[in-house]
Structure 1
Amino acid sequence: FSAALAPDAPDPQGTCQARLLDASDATLYEHAFTPIQGMAEGSQENAWQSFQLLLPDSPQMKRLVIACNGTEVISRAASAHAPQVTLLSPNGGETWGEGTQTVRWQASDADGDDLTFLLQYSLDNGATWTSLATGLTGDSYEVDSGLIPGSDSVLFKVIASDGMLSAEDVSDAPMTIARHAPTVRILSPTDGRWYTPGQTAVFDGEALDLEDENLPDDAYHWTSDLDGDLGDGPSIAVDNLSPGYHTITLTVTDSDGMSGSASIQVFVGNELPLRSYMPFVTAP
C-alpha cells in the first residue's frame, strides 16, 4: 500500500535490504532493515520472519527486491495498471447505532491481479485516519459500531492493492456513528461480600468510554439501595453501612450525559442470616 507518510529510517546494522528498481534494473532507492524473528509453537528454532516498511514512492519504480545476507528472497514486479476501487457504503449521510454494520466496496484490476484491501475510518472528517482491518480479500467487511467512538464527522476509506500499486476511495460525505455510554465494572469487593457493622468497605470500579479519553472522578457515583448516596470517585471507603443486604451500584456519566452502571450485593451484619428452603413436592 502507498501512503502519504515519511519513509522509515534505515537500520545501519540491517541484515536485509529492500531495493526499488527502475525499468533497467537500476537502483532507485535502497533501505537496510532487520526482520523480526518468530518461532513456531513448541519449537526452539526461528520459523518465520516478518517486516513492515515505509518506502518512498516513485513513478519510475518497476520492481521491488528484498535480499537478505546477499541472497534475493522476494522479487515483485509492478503491473501495468493500478487497481480501481469504489466505496459503495457508507458513502455519506448515514447514521449507525449500536450493532453490526457493513462496509461495502467494488474493485477491479485491468491486469487481473489479486487484490487485497485496507479499511480505515476517520472521526474528524479526514484529518486523521485509523486502520480498521487489513489484508481483506472480499468486497465487504462487517463492523461492530460499538467499538468505534461516536462522531458526526465519520468518513471511511478503502485502499486496494495489487501488491505494488494501489488505489483508494473515500466516503463522499461524512456520516454519524452514535456516541456510546461508558462500560462500567466493579473491581472489588466481590459480589456477596460480608461485612461486620462498622467495618470499612472499600469499593473500587473502572469505566471505559470510547469518546472520553479520561473520565474525571466526579463522573463516578456510588449508591446503596438502603443508604442512598455513598460518594464519588473510582474508589471510595465507607465505614457506616446500615445492617442488612445492600445493592451497591456504580454509575458513570460521560461528557455527553450518557451513563452506564454495574451493581453488586453485599451484606452487613454480625453473622450471615440462615436461609431455609422448602422443597416442592409433586403428587404422583
Structure 2
Amino acid sequence: GSYADWYAGHEMGHSLGRAHPTASAALCGNSASDNSYPYPNGQIGPNDGSMEGFDVGDPTFGIARRVYPGTTWNDVMSYCNNQWISDYTYTGMYNYMIAHPTAVVAANTAMINGDLLSIAGAINLEENSGGFSLLRRLTNATAPEAPTPGNYSIRLLDGTNAPLSETAFTPHEAEDSPVAGFELVVDFVAGTRAVQLVDTSSNTVLATQAVSANPPVISDVALPGASNPVSGIVTLSWNASDPDGDNLTFDIFYSRDNGATFQPVQMNATGNSTQIDTAMLGGSGSAILRVVASDGVNTAEAASAPFTMANKAPEPYILLPENNLHIHYGQLVNFNAMAFDVQDGLVGEGGFVWKDDTGNTVGSGPLISLDALPVGENVITLEVTNSVGETATTTVTVFVDDDLSLPGPTLTAAPSPVSWQIPVDTTTIQTAAIAVNNAGSGNLSW
C-alpha cells in the first residue's frame, strides 16, 4: 500500500494553516502542535453518529462510497491510521483560504497553449536522489506559478546530449519528510531526446527520461455494441501504434458537453480496448469519450463520435437518525440526508421529499424534524429527484415506544473509588460504608 494520498492531504493541510492535533500526539506519535483540536485521540468526531466522514468514492480507481464512523477514523493532520478529515480541520482550511485568497488558485486561472511539457516528481533532500512521476507533452495547460530559482533544474537535451533548455526551480519542502515535490510546465523544444533532473549545486544528474522522436498514432475510438442511449458496462475500443516501437498507455476522458470539458474515467489502460462502467458518467445528449495515447512523454489523442449517455438516478443517503432508532412518544427526531448525483454533483434542497408509511409527505429538504410519530414501527421514506427528473428512494425505520423502558437488573455501588489514609505501624482495621443499589428493574442475586 501507499501513504501518498494521506501525505498529499496532510501537507496541503499544513499549507493551509493546520497543525498536528495535540489530542493524537501520545497515541500516534505526531508532534503536539494544535491544542485546540476538539476530539479525543485525533478522531474525526466525538462519538459515532455525531460526526461522520462521507466518501463519495471514485470509480476511476475502484473506490466505493462509504460512511466513516467518527470514533474509528482519525484526522488527516494526525499520524494515526484510518485517516479522514474532521469538520474542525475542514473549517480551519476553509477559513484560512478565505483569509488568504492569494493562497488559493482561482477557478478561472488562465490557460496557456503551445507545445508544452508537464513535469512532476520528487527529490529526497537527505539522500540527494530523485525521479519523475509524470512527463507528458501537452498542447494546453493551466498557467503555472513561475518556479522559484534554486539548486535544481530541468534540462532538455538533444540526441548528442547537448542542452536545449534549462529551467531552475526550488522543490516544495514538506514539514514531516525529507522528500520534496515539484511540478513544472515548460516549453517543449523540438529535437529533445532526453529530460534530466539535475542538482546544479553539484552538477549531479538525479534522473533521466528518454524522449522518442515520434508521437503515437491513434484513431477509430468507438463503443462497439453499446445500447442507445449508452448504459451499463461497455467496451471502448481504438486503434493505436507507435512509430518508434514504444509501449503505449492510454488515458480515457468523458465529456457531457460535446467536448467543451472533460473528466477522467480511466488512467493507464493498455491494449486496444477497455471496459467502462457508465454508472458514474452523467447523462448527456452530446457525450464524447476521448482516448489519449502516451509513450511516456509524447501523446496523441482521438475521440469518439458524439453519442447519447443515459441519465442516472441520484443516490440518496440518510445520515440521521440511525436505522432502527428507539424513541419515546413525543420525542423530537432530526432527519438529515444528502444525495450524490453524477449530473448535478449534489442534489439541491428542492429535490428532497420525506414520506411516512401511508405515503403522506411529512417534510421537504435535506433536514427535517418530527415530534409526532405514532407509537410503533415507522418507516420513513426519502424520495430524491435530480435535475433531469430521475428519482431514487431510501428508508429509515424509527420505533416509537409508548412508555419508559427501564433497564434490567443493574447493580450500582458507591462511593467509587474507596480510599484510606493509614498511619505508619497502625493495627486498627479501616472500614468504609458502601451503598449497593439496583438501578434497573427485576431482582438482583449474588
| Cα distance change, pair 93–139 in 1 and its aligned pair in 2 (3 A) | closer
Q: Which of 18, 42, 54 does residue 154 from structure 2 map onto?
A: 18
Give the match for residue 195 of structure 2: 64
Q: 1:138 to 1:33 in 2, by over 3 A?
A: farther
Residue 28 of structure 1 aligns to a residue in which SS? Answer: strand
The one-letter code matched in structure 2 to 1:11 is: P
1:157 partner letter: R
Alignment of structure 1 residues 1-284 onto 2, 5 Å: 1-6=136-141, 8-12=144-148, 14-23=150-159, 25-34=162-171, 51-69=182-200, 70-90=203-223, 95=228, 97-171=230-304, 173-226=305-358, 228-271=360-403
Q: 1:94, 1:176 within 8 Å by CA — same for their partners in 2?
A: no
SS of residue in 2 equivalent to 1:218:
helix
Relative contact order (C-alpha < 8 Å, sep 6+): which is higher?
A: 1
State the SS of the aligned residue for 2:153. strand
CA displacement at 1:103 relative to structure 2: 1.5
Rounded to whole Å, the distance in 2 between the matches of 1:2 and 1:92 is 33
Whole-Å separation in 1 of the counterparts to 2:194 and 2:395: 61
Paired residues of 1:226 and 1:242 also in contact (CA < 8 A): no
Deviation at 1:2, TM superposition (A): 2.2
Cα pair 1:85 1:167 within 8 Å, conserved: yes
Contact 1:197 1:240 in 2 (8 A): yes
User: Shift of the alpha carbon at 1:22?
Assistant: 3.8
> Aligned partner of 1:68: which letter?
D
- CA distance in 2 between partners of 1:271 and 1:153 (Å): 59
Q: For residues 238 and 117 of structure 1, what CA distance do their matches in structure 2 show?
A: 52
Corresponding residue of 1:278: none
Distance change >3 Å, CA 113–CA 27, structure 1 → 2: same
| Counterpart Cα distance in 2 of 1:3 and 1:230 | 54
Quick one: distance in 1 between partners of 2:274 and 2:286? 20
Deviation per CA, 1:9-59, whole angstroms, max 9, x where unpaired?
A: 343155532122345613334252526779xxxxx976x776544332333
Query: Could you say what the CA RMSD is over the residues aligned between the two structures, in angstroms?
Result: 2.9
For 1:72-93, what per-residue CA distance to the aligned partner results, in whole angstroms no more than 9, with x for missing partners?
A: 1222343233221124323899
> TM-score, normalized by length of structure 2?
0.54
Residue type of the partner of 2:293?
A
Partner secondary structure for residue 250 of structure 1? strand
Question: Residues of 2 paired with 1:92 and 1:14: CA distance?
Answer: 55
SS of structure 1 residue aligned to 2:190: coil
Taking a change above 3 Å as real, the CA distance of residues 157 and 227 of structure 1, as seen in their structure-2 partners, is closer
Aligned residue-pair number? 266
Deviations 1:181-213 (A, max 9, x none): 110111111111122221111111111111123
Q: Secondary structure at the match of 1:203?
A: strand
Query: Percentage identity across aligned positions?
Result: 31
Using the size of structure 1 for normalisation, the TM-score is 0.81
**How far is the alpha carbon of 1:251 from its aligned partner?**
0.6
Give the partner amino acid of 1:100. I
- Give me the whole-angstrom Cα distance separating, in 2, the residues matched to 1:124 and 1:60: 36
Cα separation, 2, equivalents of 1:92 and 1:18: 46
Aligned mates of 1:20, 1:160 — CA distance in 2: 22
SS at match of 1:54: strand
Where does the alignment leave 5 or more consecutive residues of structure 1 unmatched?
39-43, 274-284
Question: SS of the residue aligned with 2:342?
Answer: coil
Larger helix fraction of residues: 2
SS of the aligned residue for 2:260 comes to: coil
Residues 227 and 127 of structure 1, relative CA distance in 2, 3 Å threshold: closer
- Rg: which structure is higher? 2
Q: Which has the higher strand share?
A: 1
* Alpha carbons 2:250, 2:270 under 8 Å: kept: yes
Q: Alpha-carbon deviation of 1:98?
A: 4.1
**Counterparts of 1:50 and 1:150, CA distance in 2:** 38
Structure 1 residue 257: Cα displacement? 1.3
